[in-house]
Structure 1
């Protein structure tokens, strides 16, 4: 039976990049007068597009010129890329899950820039699992929590939404995939702080993922083989 498409979030699902991202965001935003703590990202804004965070902070604390914001973001992303290449680790169980699920067609669907996705996958040795099957909000010009990024990835890969399983740790991604009409697995690593939305399946560890995917595969497998090629 043909296998469903697995759509993986990146930050917080495959790689433990969020503490580094939160730290560099805090440094950058404070440098332009927008008060921000690393805990603000991990608590309130996890998974949110950076410019949406900036817009909300400006609404609270006052506007910052576009030139200052552009310069700050360029510096922030350069510093983050350096730290990701040097300090990044995988989420526990992510590599093992990808190995066990290697027969499934898969792709990465992330709100982050494509260059950042490539950096983190290469730094952690996960890049060969996905090749060029990387879908960035910046490339597609649509971001979670809107469902369009997941639908864009599914369409390019040749799958209907009903024949996809999305795996995401952030609520913005879980809701986006649910709104896209996909089956969703929520990697809830903060069960005391987050509640898994209705109709999503919660796991607390990536080590649990292969068994849940195999069970869901019986429900969502397409009736016919879709267009899919390695390295697409």
Structure 2
């Protein structure tokens, strides 16, 4: 494949926010009477739109969530991120070494993306190349966010390599007609399509860029 640009997911791909967020989420659910471990919450809801996740949780509980649940959850999550967020190993080294255009495209609100990047020192590398599903109106697994990012970079979709850690993200990339790498540091996942390469760490991305990177 000829790679002319990279599109990164954020949570779980550039920053190690998923375990922190899942722990906060599990704690908040326990307060509502729903017993779900952080590991189970992460496995079930990783990479999905929060509104979809909360609707499913309401179904599990059998009643609607409190009106302020999402706002309180986001506040608690931000506190946890500020206290312990780290970059995914190799993220800074990778983006510093890139000579191709690159951006981040995430299902999260822009404020959370920027907070994640700022806390890990990655923010200066991305400039204005930050794309949020909330601003585009398209959430993974829909391909719209990735197609918007490719258009903003002025690179054809099939020349944009996506780096993702979730099923929803991989499905979105494939639907956009983009090559994608599944970042799976803990080992392979049952949801990974067999034709999608899996990598264990970001340092492996360079091997897929070849002379293009």
Q: CA deviation at 1:32?
A: 3.6
Q: Among 106, 111, 117, which residue is 2:102 paired with?
A: 106
Does structure 2 conserve the Cα–Cα contact (< 8 Å) formed by 1:175 and 1:197?
Answer: no
* Structure 2: distance between partners of 1:100 and 1:163: 19
* Structure 1: distance between partners of 2:38 and 2:57: 14
Does structure 2 conserve the Cα–Cα contact (< 8 Å) formed by 1:20 and 1:80?
Answer: yes
Q: How many residues align?
A: 212
Q: What residue is the counterpart of 1:89 in the other structure?
A: 86
TM-score computed with the length of structure 2 as normaliser: 0.91
Q: CA deviation at 1:58?
A: 2.1
**Tell me, what secondary structure is at the counterpart of 2:197?**
strand
CA RMSD of the aligned region, Å?
A: 2.0
For structure 1, which runs of at least 5 residues remain unmatched after alignment? 219-232
Q: What residue is the counterpart of 2:55 in the other structure?
A: 55
Q: CA deviation at 1:16?
A: 0.4
Aligned pairs for 1:1-232 (under 5 A) are 4-65=4-65, 68-69=66-67, 71-101=68-98, 103-214=99-210, 217=212
Q: CA deviation at 1:193?
A: 4.0
Does structure 1 conserve the Cα–Cα contact (< 8 Å) formed by 2:117 and 2:123?
Answer: yes
Q: CA deviation at 1:129?
A: 1.1
Q: CA deviation at 1:73?
A: 1.3
| 1:13–1:98 distance in 2 versus 1, CA, 3 Å | same
For structure 2, which runs of at least 5 residues remain unmatched after alignment? none
Does structure 2 conserve the Cα–Cα contact (< 8 Å) formed by 1:186 and 1:202?
Answer: yes
| 1:35–1:58 distance in 2 versus 1, CA, 3 Å | farther
1:45-89 C-alpha deviation (Å, 9 max, x unpaired): 211111111122222331215xx14x1111111121122123110
* Structure 2: distance between partners of 1:46 and 1:64: 21
Does structure 2 conserve the Cα–Cα contact (< 8 Å) formed by 1:6 and 1:164?
Answer: yes
Q: What residue is the counterpart of 1:222 in the other structure?
A: none
| 1:184–1:193 distance in 2 versus 1, CA, 3 Å | closer
Structure 1 runs of 4+ with >6 Å offset: none
**Tell me, what secondary structure is at the counterpart of 1:166?**
strand
Q: Which segment drifts farther, 30-39 or 135-144?
A: 30-39
* Structure 2: distance between partners of 1:59 and 1:53: 10
| 1:54–1:127 distance in 2 versus 1, CA, 3 Å | same
* Structure 2: distance between partners of 1:43 and 1:3: 30
